[in-house]
Amino acid sequence: MTTSETADGTGVVPSRELGRLEQLPIRRIVLTILTIGLVVIVGGGILKTLTLSGAEHLGWAFWANLVVIGLALGAVYALIALGYTLVYGILRMINFAHGEVFMTGAFVSFFFAQAYAASGFLNRSPWLSIAILLVVSMAVSTGVALLLERICYRPLRNAPRLVPLITAIGASLFLQNTFQGFFGAEPRGYPRPDVLSGTISIGPVSFDKMDPVVFATALIGMFVLNRFVQRTKTGRAMRAVSEDREIASLMGIDVDRTVVVTFVLGGLLAGIAAVLYAMTFGQVSATMGFLPGIAAFTAAVLGGIGSIPGAALGGLVLGVSESVGPYLLLSGVHVPSPFELRAVITFSILVLVLIFRPGGILGTGEAEKV
């Protein structure tokens, strides 16, 4: 554009052809198109599914069943999402490798589970062996989370924001391929004690025996975490650091230690989630961390990243959307096996939340550009 003075002295250069094009509110146009498209797709899909008739009609028991599955899945997501949210709250950084922290716990505990299944210990005392598996998985996940913090993130604490994100992506790829190299690329079947196999029926609604266990364990985990952060001195230090790192350190809080505690908490919760997830879906592999990782991140964003109740709520909402959504949207248009498309739901929710409400349900809107 020219910088010369204009004849009328206002300094406004008459816009050329390109200039006019530039003034189009491209962002608003794209957003409007997106909104209309979304409403049409979602509304149309739901309408067609709910008006299915005859043999294809899906009764309420079917939906209730999906909701139960979704709640169990969502509880696992919530546990992982807490790891993202805690780290984000303290360091303002996305720990992209958290999905792999989850994977390592599941993978190592698999070898114990396998041995217990072979020796019959798993069925003789299922609760004790699950407790041991949880401890193993939590220990491994915590160890990996600590290594990550020490090697990949601590040297870059004062670097521009994108730098630790790039190392986190590197770490995620590295851990995935390391485990593939160590233990082989093929998925392994994760054993489940007989007590927890099969389904329970309450009236017409029947669900996997694992589901209530998962839900209860996750709730206990979240409850303990919340007490820890709200009641203990360390928890208070964490909240202080997340408010303002510099001021907190002036007040005598050891920031390094607080960051380490944060990663430990994230690792512990990911370790719990790992055993629950592996036992529910019955298999582990080196790449199993990617999708739950993204889903949990979505849950954290959905609930409002940085907020602990937000992560719990986001996890449950996402879990239910993932299990109900594909059937609700796609059954009407006769897409075969809609459950396989739950990843699309996750990604779409992630993108849409970040576009329309980056602060999340309970967030402060902070995710918008500073």
Partner 1 sequence: MNRAAFVRAVKGGLLGGVGVIYFALVGMIERLDTLSIVGSVELSWLLILGPPFIAAYVLARPRVEAGEMRSASASRALWSGGIVGLVSWGLVAIGVGLVQWIGIDTVRSVFRSVSPTLIQILTLHHPVWPGILYLAPIVVLGALAGGALPLLPRRVRRPIITASGVVLLLGLLQQLVPPALDQLHIQRNWLYSNVTLGLSWIGAIVAFAVTFAITWFLQDRSLRDLVAGGPGARDRPGAEARVRTVLLVGWLALGAVLLAMPYLVGPVVARDLGFVGIYLLLGLGLNIVVGYAGLLDLGYVAFFSVGAYTTAVLTGGQLNTYKGLAAPILGAHLNFFLAIPIVVLVAALIGVAIGAPVLRLRGDYLAIVTLGFGEIARVIFGSTWAKNLFGGSAGMTHITDAAIGGYSFRTELHFYYLALGFCALAAFVSWRLQGSRIGRAWNAMREDEQVAEAMGISTIRYKLLAFAMGGAVGSLGGALFAVSIGSLTIASFTIFVSITALAIIILGGMGSIPGVVVGALILIGLPGVLTPLQDYQLLIYGAVLIVIMILRPQGLVPNVRRSRELHEEEVQQDAWMRPVEEGEVPVARGIEA
Give the count of residues interacting with partner 1 (CB under 8 A).
57
- Asked if 339 interacts with partner 1 (CB under 8 A), we say no
DSSP track, 192-235: --GGG-SEEEETTEEEETHHHHHHHHHHHHHHHHHHHHHHSHHH
DSSP track, 258-278: HHHHHHHHHHHHHHHHHHHHH
- Asked if 243 interacts with partner 1 (CB under 8 A), we say no
Nearer Cβ to partner 1, position 128 or 173? Answer: 173
Quick one: which H or E segment has residue 284?
strand 283-284
Nearer Cβ to partner 1, position 46 or 335? Answer: 335
The binding track of 126-165 with respect to partner 1, each residue x by CB under 8 A or -, is -------------------------xx--xx-xxxxxxxx
- Asked if 118 interacts with partner 1 (CB under 8 A), we say no
Q: Residue 104 is encoded by which pair of tokens?
A: 């390592």
Nearer Cβ to partner 1, position 268 or 301? Answer: 301
Which of 198, 351, 364, 365 touches partner 1 (CB under 8 A)? 351
| Shortest separation between residue 359's beta carbon and partner 1, angstroms | 11
Which of 139, 205, 341, 361 touches partner 1 (CB under 8 A)? 341
φ, ψ of residue 8 in degrees (nearest 5) = -80, 0
CB 298 within 8 A of CB 360: no
φ, ψ of residue 288 in degrees (nearest 5) = -70, -15
- Asked if 124 interacts with partner 1 (CB under 8 A), we say no
C-alpha–C-alpha distance, residues 41 and 332, integer Å: 11
C-alpha–C-alpha distance, residues 262 and 343, integer Å: 28
Beta-carbon neighbour count of residue 90 at 10 Å?
22
- Asked if 367 interacts with partner 1 (CB under 8 A), we say yes
| Shortest separation between residue 340's beta carbon and partner 1, angstroms | 10
Which of 15, 16, 31, 244 touches partner 1 (CB under 8 A)? 31
By the criterion CB under 8 A, which residues form the site for partner 1? 22, 26-27, 29-31, 34, 93-94, 111, 151-152, 155-156, 158-167, 169-178, 181-184, 294, 297, 301, 335-336, 341, 343-344, 347-348, 350-351, 354-355, 358, 367-370
